[in-house]
Structure formats: structure tokens, C-alpha cells
């Protein structure tokens, strides 16, 4: 086995010599320019985001907004946020706010992000970016027109172990990539009141869970040349399980699955003619990466130094881009977000072909 060495402090942990050390974060999240953030939607993901900012960055959340003023105040008190508003408009009217984190259900992303953009605010929009590609295209056009930064909060793209993946691909360590796999399944009790089972909230496995493997495969393979999907529906009429096969222009395959019906390994792999790369579950969080040779020998290993607070990396990237006057991130460019949304539309078209009433999500 290759000798193990200790990588630089913020570079991501213990590294075997055969694998490159992560280059991100560079600089570390705490060194990113500090912005004043507004939060729309004080739910679970917003709580994780604010906790990550407080623990690992110099970013500051100044107001939080909700349709329920008491809910906003409870969230503000919990995290020491100075202002709590009972409307989203008040967040956008706050002169302190540089950038708005859209953390509402993805059924509302388009409306809330467009409000922020038209108010001249930069935006970080939770995944899935919107309900469909049409909404995504309109948001992107609005951001370009207003000259504000806009990015999908696909936090996985900004984690250090994903930089290892990108370097391995760039260096050709795997040879010719032939197969990419990724899955994300969670057991969700079939409760019609849960947002993932609610058609009016754009529920289903695909937009909430499946967006992770779709985005990962898109990062590795690039634009899809072909796509075929199968799936089934829940009792409420949203997608419960989806399996997809895609190809790229070089003929490499991507195989992915998502489900609400059971906990899957949530792993990912990239197999090439020389070696394969394996990412432990949950692959979309800070995870261990292994480089495996043709005879199944371990060639390299990267273990994350930081397991929690991973949302700090996307916030730091947004802050660096805004401070530099950039309107989008090179790590999660808007044209790729749009391609992914179009792929999600095509997947839904495939699996819902026989259920036409589900094709149009509630507006």
C-alpha cells in the first residue's frame, strides 16, 4: 500500500500519495469576504446553512423572513439573527442585505428568487433550482438582466472531496471513463402531509433526492447525449422511485437511482479503463474517496478533515464571486444548472408519460 502522508490543514485530511490533495477551499471558507445575508424560508436546511456559516465563515445573516412572523422570530432568536420579518418583501427591502439565500420549498424557488433578483439582490437558490427548466431559464435571464450573481446551492460541488474527483478526471488517472453510478434513496413514511408526497409542493424523489445523482453524473460526463428513465408513482401522485441511464458524446454510461421507499447505499463511482474512483455514502456530503486499480488494489485514499458544516463551502464560493464582481460560479455555472433542469424535465416526461395529469406541476 502507498505510504500515507498528512495533507495541509485545510486541504482535506489524510491522503495517499497516488491521489491529489483537495485544492478547495482556497482560500478557506473563513477567509472568504464577509457578506450580509438574508434568509427566506426558516426551515431545516436554512438552520443547517446558518449553523455552518456561524461555525466556519465570516458571513453574517442579518434578517430572516417567513410568512409566519412568529416562526421567523423563533429562528432569529435561535441563531442570534438581528432582524426577523413576517414577509419576504421586508427581507428584500432591508438595505443591509447583500445576498439572499432562498431556502423555501423548491415549489417556491422561482417566485422567491425572482423577487430577490428584481430587488437587485444576489441570490443563492437551494436545489432543485426550480420546478422545471422553463422557470430556470427565466430566473437566469432575470439575473443577467439585473446584473446580479445567481447560483444553484448544489453544495456537493464545492466540497473538498469533489475537487479530488475533478483533479482525478483532469489528470486522466482513470483512463477512459466508461461508467458512472450514483444513488440517493431514503425511507420516507408515506404521509400525504409530508412535503415530499405533496404534488402542490413539487414533491417526489427526483427533485429533492435524485437531483444529487443527476448533478454528479452531469459533472463527470458533461452534457447528456441520450437519456432513458423508468419510475413509479406514490399514492399521492408524485414520483416515488426513478432509475435513469444516460450517455455522453463519448459513449460513456451514467446509471442512477433515487427512491423514497428505502435507504440505499448513497454511494457513487466512476469506472475507467485504468482504474475506478469510489465515493463512500453519503457521497453528496464530505466523504472518503478511494482510487481502486484494475485488480481491486487500493491505490489512493482521501479522508475528509471536516464531516459537518459542509454548507459553508457554497456560501464561501458565493461570497468570493460576489466580491469579485462575478455573476456566476465556474464550479456550478448557470448553463449547467439549466442543462440539469432540462434533464430532470425529460426524466419526468419519461416516467409520467402514462400519467399526464402529473406532468404539469401546480403553479
**C-alpha cell, 193:** 402531509
- Residue 207 DSSP symbol: I
Integer Cα distance of 128 and 131 in angstroms: 7
Integer Cα distance of 160 and 288 in angstroms: 10
Integer Cα distance of 52 and 322 in angstroms: 19
Phi-psi region of 297 (alpha: psi -120 to 50; beta: other; left: phi over 0): beta
Integer Cα distance of 214 and 256 in angstroms: 7
- Residue 208 DSSP symbol: I
Other Cβ atoms less than 10 A from the Cβ of 272: the count is 20
Active site (annotated) includes residue 192: no
Catalytic residue among 127, 145, 192, 326: 127
**Among the residues of the chain, which ranges form H helices?**
44-56, 69-79, 88-93, 109-118, 133-146, 160-171, 205, 211-221, 312-323, 334-351
Integer Cα distance of 230 and 228 in angstroms: 7
CB 76 within 8 A of CB 62: no
CB 198 within 8 A of CB 231: no
Sorted by sequence, the CB contacts under 8 Å of residue 188 that are 6+ apart come out as: 194, 196, 197, 260, 261
Other Cβ atoms less than 10 A from the Cβ of 4: the count is 11
Q: Is the dihedral of CA 95, 88, 117, 101 positive or negative?
A: positive
Q: Which residues are catalytic?
A: 127
Amino acid at each position: 500500500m502507498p505510504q500515507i502522508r498528512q495533507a495541509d490543514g485545510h486541504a482535506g485530511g489524510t491522503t495517499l500519495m497516488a491521489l491529489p490533495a483537495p485544492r478547495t477551499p482556497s482560500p478557506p471558507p473563513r477567509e472568504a469576504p464577509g457578506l450580509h445575508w438574508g434568509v427566506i424560508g426558516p426551515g431545516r436546511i436554512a438552520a443547517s446553512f446558518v449553523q455552518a456559516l456561524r461555525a466556519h465563515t465570516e458571513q453574517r445573516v442579518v434578517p430572516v423572513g417567513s410568512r409566519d412572523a412568529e416562526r421567523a422570530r423563533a429562528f432569529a432568536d435561535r441563531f442570534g439573527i438581528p432582524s426577523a420579518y413576517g414577509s419576504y418583501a421586508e427581507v428584500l427591502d432591508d438595505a443591509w442585505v447583500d445576498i439572499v439565500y432562498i431556502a423555501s420549498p423548491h415549489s417556491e424557488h422561482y417566485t422567491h428568487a425572482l423577487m430577490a433578483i428584481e430587488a437587485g439582490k444576489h441570490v443563492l437558490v437551494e436545489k432543485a433550482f426550480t420546478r422545471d427548466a422553463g422557470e430556470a431559464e427565466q430566473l437566469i435571464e432575470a439575473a443577467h438582466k439585473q446584473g446580479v450573481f445567481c447560483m444553484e446551492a448544489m453544495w456537493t460541488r464545492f466540497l473538498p472531496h469533489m475537487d479530488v474527483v475533478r483533479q482525478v478526471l483532469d489528470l486522466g488517472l482513470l483512463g477512459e471513463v466508461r461508467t458512472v453510478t450514483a444513488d440517493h434513496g431514503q425511507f420516507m413514511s408515506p404521509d400525504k402531509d409530508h412535503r415530499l408526497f405533496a404534488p402542490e409542493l413539487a414533491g417526489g424523489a427526483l427533485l429533492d433526492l435524485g437531483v444529487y445523482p443527476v448533478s454528479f453524473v452531469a459533472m463527470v460526463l458533461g452534457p447528456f447525449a441520450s437519456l432513458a428513465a423508468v419510475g413509479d408513482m406514490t399514492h399521492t401522485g408524485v414520483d416515488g422511485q426513478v432509475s435513469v441511464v444516460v450517455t455522453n458524446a463519448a459513449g460513456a454510461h451514467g446509471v442512477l437511482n433515487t427512491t423514497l421507499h428505502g435507504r440505499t447505499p448513497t454511494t457513487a463511482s466512476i469506472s475507467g479503463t485504468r482504474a475506478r474512483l469510489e465515493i463512500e455514502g453519503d457521497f453528496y456530503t464530505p466523504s472518503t474517496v478511494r482510487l481502486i486499480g484494475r485488480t481491486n488494489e487500493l491505490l489512493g485514499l482521501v479522508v475528509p478533515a471536516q464531516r459537518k458544516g459542509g454548507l459553508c463551502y457554497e456560501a464561501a464560493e458565493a461570497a468570493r464571486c460576489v466580491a469579485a464582481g462575478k455573476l456566476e460560479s465556474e464550479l456550478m455555472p448557470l448553463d449547467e444548472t439549466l442543462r440539469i433542469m432540462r434533464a430532470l424535465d425529460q426524466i419526468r416526461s419519461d416516467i409520467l408519460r402514462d400519467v399526464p395529469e402529473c406532468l404539469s406541476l401546480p403553479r
